[in-house]
Amino acid sequence: MKSLFYLPFWFSKAKFSGSKRPLQTVLFISDKCNLTCKHCTVYQLKNPHIKTYEQVKEELEYSYHLGSRFVDFEGGEPTLWHDGDKDLNSLIRLAKAIGFYSTTITTNAQMPFTNSEADSIWVSLDGLGDFHDEIRGKGAFERLVKNIAAANHPELSVNMVINSQNYTSVEETIEFAKTNPHIQSISLNFHTPYEGTEDLFLDWDKRSEVIDLIIQKKKAGYPIMNSVSGLKLMKHNQFKKQCWVSNFILSDGTRLAECPGSTAGVCDQCGFSMAGEMHSVFNLKPDTILAGMKLRM
């Protein structure tokens, strides 16, 4: 309910007074992981950073004071996190106590998360069956299906990162999201070619074809989170980015006022759908505003 008042306040300050205060925080609590996905440059196998409860508390308070009211706990794999008797749910309760309106976790769903107290859960799903396993490792798809069924969380969505290996699985993955009773919706993103993963970048012509397919599915009523306006922008990526809408705090404690993609120099090839969605919101596209409200409330 509080977000009903805060969102228009935040938006009018950003749109009309040029304020650049973050709305959301992407907080990497560790870079330890139980998978080694082909497209990922985040995980650390040797000597991973694992934040303490106190460090996360300080980072949450810092982000709250910047103006952020939504937090996404990221990693590495956030469900692996603990500090003594504190676990991921302890961080969720902490964020709520500080004043965050909503908490999200992004997980690979390889570990059970039946007791998660997060308001919403994003599960990374990179295609059906072998497509997913080709990127994430053998057995990963089966474990994901089992764990999302066991969790039966009321606000669980999946997030697909489309790349040169899995783009032919997009349609069946959208179908799967519609028919699986434990999935509310699907968000579609494209691979961002961080150093060492350039071969997974999907060329622009294929990307455009895939976007046309997604738009067709969206218009046919499939539960696709992306807006049509945002999707169209992702075809060419030539638009002003509003990446300061989220502040990022990396596993090593680095605090960034915007997405790490800008320091990595990959913005021109960015595949994060949020970039297009944010540009459309600031250009007052009704379909994107509606999609954003749905996500945030």
Ligand X SMILES: C[S@@+](CC[C@H](N)C(=O)[O-])C[C@H]1O[C@@H](n2cnc3c(N)ncnc32)[C@H](O)[C@@H]1O
Q: Please say which residue, 7 or 109, places its beta carbon nearer to ligand SF4.
A: 109
75 interacts with ligand SF4 by CB under 6 A: yes
- Smallest distance, ligand X to C-beta of residue 143, A: 13
Does 252 help bind ligand SF4 (rule: CB under 6 A)? no
Give the chain's radius of gyration (CA, Å): 18
Q: Do residues 2 and 101 lie in contact, with contact meaning Cβ atoms separated by under 8 Å?
A: yes
Name which position in 10, 28, 43, 113 contacts ligand SF4 (CB under 6 A).
43
Does 35 help bind ligand SF4 (rule: CB under 6 A)? yes
- The answer to whether 126 contacts ligand SF4 (rule: CB under 6 A) is no
Distance separating alpha carbons of residues 151 and 205, to the nearest angstrom: 38
Picked from ligand X, ligand SF4, none, the partner binding residue 70 (CB below 5 to 8 A depending on kind) is: none
Q: Which residues pair with 72 in a beta bridge?
A: 26, 104
- Residue 135 CA to residue 199 CA, distance in Å, equals 13
Phi, psi (rounded to 5 degrees) for 207: -60, -40
Would you say 170 and 206 are in contact if contact means Cβ atoms under 8 Å apart?
Answer: no
Q: Which does 295 bind (CB under 5 to 8 A by kind): ligand X, ligand SF4, none?
A: none
CB of 135 to ligand X, least distance (A): 8
290 touches 227 (CB < 8 A):
yes
User: HSE (CB half, 13 Å, CA atoms) of 148?
Assistant: 27
Shortest distance (Å) from residue 136 CB to ligand SF4? 6
CB of 291 to ligand X, least distance (A): 18
Q: Which of 68, 104, 108, 246 binds ligand SF4 (CB under 6 A)?
A: 108
Q: Is 116 in the site for ligand SF4 (CB under 6 A)?
A: no
d(CA 131, CA 167): 9
CB 78 within 8 A of CB 89: no
Binding site for ligand X (CB under 6 A): 33, 39-40, 42, 74-75, 77, 106-108, 124, 159, 161, 189, 191-192, 194, 197, 271
The contact set with ligand SF4 (CB under 6 A) reads 33, 35-37, 40, 42-43, 75-77, 108
